[in-house]
Chains A and B, each alone.
Chain A
Amino acid sequence: MIKVENLHKSFGDVNVLKGIDTQFIRGKTNLVIGQSGSGKTVFLKCLLGLFEPTKGDIYFDDKTYRDFSVKQRRELRKQMGMVFQGGALFDSMTVEENIKFPLRMFTKQSQAEMQNRVEEVLDRVNLDGANQKFPAEISGGMQKRVSIARAIVNKPKFLFCDEPNSGLDPRTATVIDNLIQEITKENQITTIINTHDMNSVFEIGEKIIYLQDGILAWEGTKDEIHKTDNKAVTDFVYSSNLFRKVKIAQQKGY
């Protein structure tokens, strides 16, 4: 579980996050949504420890990040997995080497053990046989899967995803969403996903927080987001013609 208390982050005179309080539940897919510039990425980077909060606290399993020693922070990072928007795969390494990388860096596993684990996660993300390919040789959807495989290979307790299905076709995007949700449940991970994609919101949003100008403007589930009367949220969610028409049809009883 991750708990955020009164989180502020400023860059010079610009206040990006203005006091966020929330908590993210273990074993569930937690979604952070909001318009561009609402502070989603800064929020995620604060959770990842890439940005030091200006004020406020972040608790990882009831321990505040602020009080962690350098060594403890390093240990915590090893329990985190991250799926980047563009995949962020190391392009000088093959798929297999990319996935093996965290194991090589942080474990004392033998080559055979590492190989078994790589095969296991590749199988889990349905990428058998792609071991020796380089990131440039595989599709965007496959790159995302490799990125997920690399993020989970070390069995992390916390999984962060920054727009995991951006740039993917709707079908592949749904596959990636479902994959993340399944992995979250199987391994009881605390998963936080930054997204713009309304399909993801309605598909896997077990907990959703909506950020607006650095403030938490709404939080709830995918069922509650349909019923909310928060104008900012409805404007954002139904900004797409398709979703707006679906809602109108539902209201008319179709």
Chain B
Amino acid sequence: MSYIESIGQYFIMFRDLFKKMTKASQLKRLILQEIHVLMTKSLGIVIFISFFIGAVITIQTALNLSNPLIPKSLIGYAARQSIILEFSPTFISVIMAGKVGSYITSSIGTMRVTEQIDALEVMGINSLNYLVFPKIIAMLFYPFMIGISMFIGIFGAYMAATIGGFLSSSEFLTGLQEDFIPFHIIYAFIKTFIFAIILATIPSYHGYYMKGGALEVGRASTTSFVWTSVVIIVSNYVITQLLLS
């Protein structure tokens, strides 16, 4: 029953989010701040992970392709497909659920515990709009980050392939362009966009409606990470079923 209540409350949060908008000049400042905190500050870890995962995908594919009848260019093809279809949109989103999601839950949760949200309400400010709306807008830039992740992932795969001597540069590039379906990019960005909304709202919900003290802030962050990951994984399945099958 409490799960159903929570889902209901989550959707009510969406309604209340737009009830009374924050002053435009302030909103602009908040959105820029959130873009910096949520996006720019996450770029380093995303680039780092993308590069090395791209490299590992190449090495593992190369090591498992022992049949001489299979062209080596398939390694480039496999790297591209893995990175564009799953690794960048889904795997990075789960990592972001830990990094960005925990930050959102703990920052809003701490504001709840220390009565800062009450202070906003007393001043006549829609605290949901003030705190959550800028995060949603900032997360709309998330597809750009995933685009960078795709590029860096493929670059990492290329570096591992050529430096490791698994295949030549031209073989990798041939594989990379083989059977390219542009819709796969669209599919990846559609799901990235949906994951961005999930990443901004589920952690916000857990932070905003938490009750208790400092210990509960920690618990809320963990719960938020678990639920954000679960919803990302399930919606990944649903979107894939709808768009690709």
| Interface of A toward B, CB cutoff 8 Å | 48, 50, 73-78, 80, 82, 84-86, 88-91, 101-102, 104-106, 160
| B residues at A contact (CB < 8 Å) | 20, 22-23, 25-26, 110-111, 114-116, 118-119, 121-125
Kindly state the separation between the CA atoms of A105 and B129 in the bound complex, as whole angstroms: 13
Check A105–B118 contact: CB distance below 8 A: no
Residues of A within 8 A of B121 (CB): 50
A75, A76, A86, A104: the one within 8 Å of B114 (CB) = A86
Closest Cβ of chain A to B172, distance in Å, is 46
Across the interface, do A84 and B118 meet the contact criterion of CB distance under 8 Å? yes
Q: Which of B111, B114, B116, B125 contacts A105 (CB 8 A)?
A: B125
Verify A78–B124 contact, CB threshold 8 A: yes
Give the CA-CA distance A76 to B122 in the complex, in Å. 10
CB A83 to nearest CB in B, in angstroms, measures 10
Residues from chain A with Cβ under 8 Å of B124 in the complex: 73-78, 106
- Which residue of B has the minimal Cβ distance to A45? B118
Instruction: Return B153 CB to nearest CB of chain A, in Å.
Output: 34
Contact pick for B115, options A73, A75, A86, A104, CB 8 Å = A86
The answer to whether B116 and A78 have CB atoms under 8 Å apart is no
Closest Cβ of chain A: how far from B5's Cβ, in Å?
A: 15
What 10 pairs between A and B have smallest CB-CB spacing?
Answer: A77-B124, A88-B115, A88-B119, A82-B122, A84-B115, A74-B124, A88-B116, A78-B124, A48-B122, A90-B116
Q: Would you give the shortest CB distance from B236 to chain A, in whole angstroms?
A: 33
Q: Is the CB of A104 within 8 A of B119?
A: no
Per the bound structure, the CA–CA distance linking A183 and B119 in Å amounts to: 20
- Could you say which residues of chain B place their CB within 8 Å of the CB of A74? 20, 124
**Cβ contact within 8 Å between B114 and A82:** no
State the CA gap A50–B23 with chains docked (Å): 21
Q: Which of chain B's residues has its CB closest to A147's CB?
A: B119
Q: Please state if B118 and A50 are interface contacts (CB–CB under 8 Å).
A: yes
For residue A91, which residues in chain B have a CB less than 8 angstroms away from its CB?
110, 114, 116
Measured between beta carbons, the chain A residues less than 8 angstroms from B111 are: 90
CB distance from A94 to the nearest CB of B (A): 14
Residue with the greatest number of chain A CB neighbours at <10 A, chosen from B22, B110, B115, B124 = B124
Rounded to whole angstroms, the CA-CA distance of A75 and B20 in the bound complex is: 13
List of A residues within 8 angstroms of B116 by Cβ? 88-91
Chain B residues closer than 8 Å to A82, beta-carbon distance: 119, 122-123
With contacts A74-B20, A74-B124 known, is A105 near B26, CB below 8 A? yes
Q: How far is the CB of B168 from chain A (nearest CB, A)?
A: 52
Cβ of A68 to closest chain B Cβ, rounded Å: 12
Report the bound CA distance from A90 to B20 in whole Å.
21
B114 touches A102 (CB 8 A): no
Given contacts A84-B115, A85-B115, A88-B115, whether A104 and B122 have CB atoms under 8 Å apart is: no
Tell me if B115 and A105 are in contact (CB < 8 A).
Answer: no
- Please, which residues of chain B bring their CB within 8 A of the CB of A78? 123-124
Residues of B within 8 A of A89 (CB): 116
Using CB atoms, name the residue of chain B closest to A82. B122
Q: List 10 A-B contacts (CB under 8 A).
A: A73-B124, A78-B123, A80-B122, A82-B122, A84-B119, A86-B115, A90-B111, A91-B110, A105-B23, A105-B123
List residues of chain A with CB within 8 A of the CB of B123. Answer: 77-78, 80, 82, 101-102, 105-106
Inter-chain contacts of B119 with A (CB < 8 A): 82, 84, 88, 90
Minimum distance in angstroms from A96 CB to a CB of chain B: 15
- A136–B8 Cα distance when bound, in Å, is 37
B146, chain A: closest CB distance, angstroms: 28
Q: What is the chain B residue whose CB lies nearest that of A104? A: B26
Q: Which residues of chain A are near B26, meaning CB under 8 Å?
A: 104-105
Residue among A78, A85, A88 having the largest count of chain B Cβ atoms under 10 Å: A88
Quote the shortest CB–CB distance from A217 to chain B (angstroms): 27
Given A88-B114, A105-B125; 8 other pairs, CB 8 A cutoff? A48-B122, A50-B121, A77-B122, A77-B124, A82-B119, A84-B118, A86-B114, A90-B116
**Among B25, B26, B123: residue with most chain A CB under 10 A:** B123
Chain A residues with Cβ under 8 A from B125's Cβ?
105
Q: How far, in angstroms, from A88 to B114 measured CA to CA in the complex? A: 6
Closest to B37 in A: A92
Chain A residue at minimum C-beta to C-beta distance from B20: A74
- Closest beta carbon of chain B to A92's beta carbon, Å: 8
A104 and B123 alpha carbons, distance in the complex (Å): 12
Question: Which residues in B have their C-beta under 8 angstroms from that of A160?
Answer: 122
